[in-house]
Amino acid sequence: MSLFEHSLKELTRKLNDNEITVTDLVEESYARIEEVDGEVQAFLTLDEENARAAARELDEAGDKGASLFGLPIGIKDNIVTKGLRTTAASQILSNLDDPLYDATVVRKLQKEKAVTIGKLNMDEFAMGSSNENSSFQATRNPWNTDHVPGGSSGGSAAAVAAGEVPFSLGTDTGGSIRQPASYCGVVGLKPTYGRVSRFGLIAFASSLDQIGPITRSVEDNAYVLETIAGHDEMDSTSANVEVPAYTEALTGNISDLKIAVPKEYFQEGVNEEVKASVRQALRKYEELGAEWEEVSLPHSKYALSTYYLIASSEASANLARFDGVRYGRRSENAETMIDMFKNSRSEGFGDEVKRRIMLGTFALSSGYYDAYYKKAQQVRTLIKNDFDKIFEEYDVVIGPTAPTPAFKVGEQMENPLTMYANDILTIPVNLAGVPGISIPCGFSEKGLPIGLQIIGKHFDESTVYRAAHAFEQATNYHKQRPELGGNTK
């Protein structure tokens, strides 16, 4: 049995009791990567030498007080790691082999003695829902390698599902943690906006981006968030709000829980198998003593338009920094500075990134600003108000994470709008800034995972985790593993 079948807390106990060593864990990770990553293609960069050295050092030091002592982690490639290649899966950063600093989340992981195994594939600059927009490789779904893992944190979700690492970090701007977690049958949380520092996260849409954990269980997820959450003076939008002990919220008792189920999350485009799994989950919640009622979030259908205008506008500003001057790739075909900017960017960015930069530039340009950008920001207020109103009466909102299980590689690359629709149920959460989690709640007839989304109030991850954990403990979906490499069902 893989060591990663154990919870993070159990692995910590085993290390403390000298049943296993950090080297065992790190070697397990690289052995599994060697075995299955040729198929899954989750990792862009491995940090073997440093990880092995760190493992030896930790084994020798023997001070096991740190909360993530010796636990191997994979990190999404848009999170900056000092001295370790960081590309955001873009050609324009393909030569950034030696970044200058660590993201705050990476510093926090290091302080708690986690061991970085490597950097994980993603859609370029986190723009995409399938990992097919990576400029290096297309990660595959461990449950069926003809299917996508979701995106943009597809590498982070696939690596955990494939048992290559016990946990990873992803980022979520419109669903980029939750949708791949749903497709890969793992647990992924987008924290409240401001809960986790964004310092050192390569910015896509700064008013929406959040870093969060991807794990095999709700308890592991809560445990990791305890480490990475909190105020950071390097990110002025990180909130100065106390970080509770999330694992203590996992009581198993949800008899007081009031669940809102938005009827809009069961409408057109949502697949029947997904609806059936979510309805079954709601019956499970009833059995566990919780109450649920159908509600309306009337502006849900406007979220996709709102998101693409706002996120693309912010991206067009954020990605202006990639110009071939201070770091990254510079085009060799340019005589003047302006041509150097243009050619470096045109050679360095993929089509989806260009599309969004142009959409954002258009929406922000004089004559269109009020009609598109300002309008979208006003509708964002309406979407946020929908949630505020529901949360006056209910503790959590529950629905599907994604409208379908994982689709096939290549199936949705023709039309950008079709691809965007995969995020229709996750985007409202980013616009409102509230926390949301995806946990496994079933399988399609073809054996692909289905995810349940649980959304909470601002800074109330504790209730989200409590609701998720109670369901998880009453079901077996999170214990299923894909057939891959030496694993059989």
Partner 1 sequence: MSRISEDQVKHVANLARLVVTDEEAEMFTKQLDDIITYAEQLNELDTEGVEPTTHVLDLKNVMRKDEPKEWIKKEDALKNAPDQQDGQFKVPSILE
Catalytically active residues, by annotation: 76, 152, 176
* Contacts (CB under 8 A) with partner 1, residues 206-225: 207
Three-class SS string for 411-459? CCCCCHHHHHHHHCCCHHHHHHCCCEEEEEEEECCCCCEEEEEEECCCC
* Contacts (CB under 8 A) with partner 1, residues 446-475: 458
Contacts of 241 (CB under 8 A, 6+ apart): 194, 195, 231, 459
Q: Is the peptide bond before 90 cis (omega within 30 degrees of 0)?
A: no
Q: How far is the CB of 287 from partner 1 (least distance, A)?
A: 35
Contact 210, 193 (CB under 8 A): yes
Binding to partner 1 by residue 489, rule CB under 8 A?
no
Binding to partner 1 by residue 309, rule CB under 8 A?
yes
Exposed/middle/buried for 149, CB within 10 Å: 0-12, 13-18, 19+? buried
Instruction: Measure the CA dihedral 274/295/218/474, to 10°.
Output: -70
* Contacts (CB under 8 A) with partner 1, residues 102-161: none
Stretch that binds partner 1, among 15-23, 250-258, 259-267, 301-309 (CB under 8 A): 301-309
Binding to partner 1 by residue 341, rule CB under 8 A?
yes
Q: How far is the CB of 339 from partner 1 (least distance, A)?
A: 8
* Contacts (CB under 8 A) with partner 1, residues 374-413: 374-382, 384
Binding to partner 1 by residue 305, rule CB under 8 A?
yes
Bridge pairing between strands 72-76 and 115-120: parallel
Q: Measure the N-to-C terminal CA separation of the chain; round to a whole number of Å.
A: 12
Stretch that binds partner 1, among 26-34, 274-282, 331-339, 478-486 (CB under 8 A): 331-339
Binding to partner 1 by residue 242, rule CB under 8 A?
no
User: Can you say whether residue 178 is alpha, beta or left, with left for phi > 0 and alpha for psi between -120 and 50 degrees?
Assistant: alpha
* Contacts (CB under 8 A) with partner 1, residues 81-110: 95-96, 98-101
Binding to partner 1 by residue 342, rule CB under 8 A?
yes
Q: How far is the CB of 227 from partner 1 (least distance, A)?
A: 22
Q: How far is the CB of 346 from partner 1 (least distance, A)?
A: 4
The closest of 279, 86, 71 to 171, measured between CA atoms, is 86
Binding to partner 1 by residue 194, rule CB under 8 A?
yes
Q: Between residues 16 and 381, which has the closer beta carbon with respect to partner 1?
A: 381
Q: Between residues 138 and 357, which has the closer beta carbon with respect to partner 1?
A: 357
Binding to partner 1 by residue 239, rule CB under 8 A?
yes
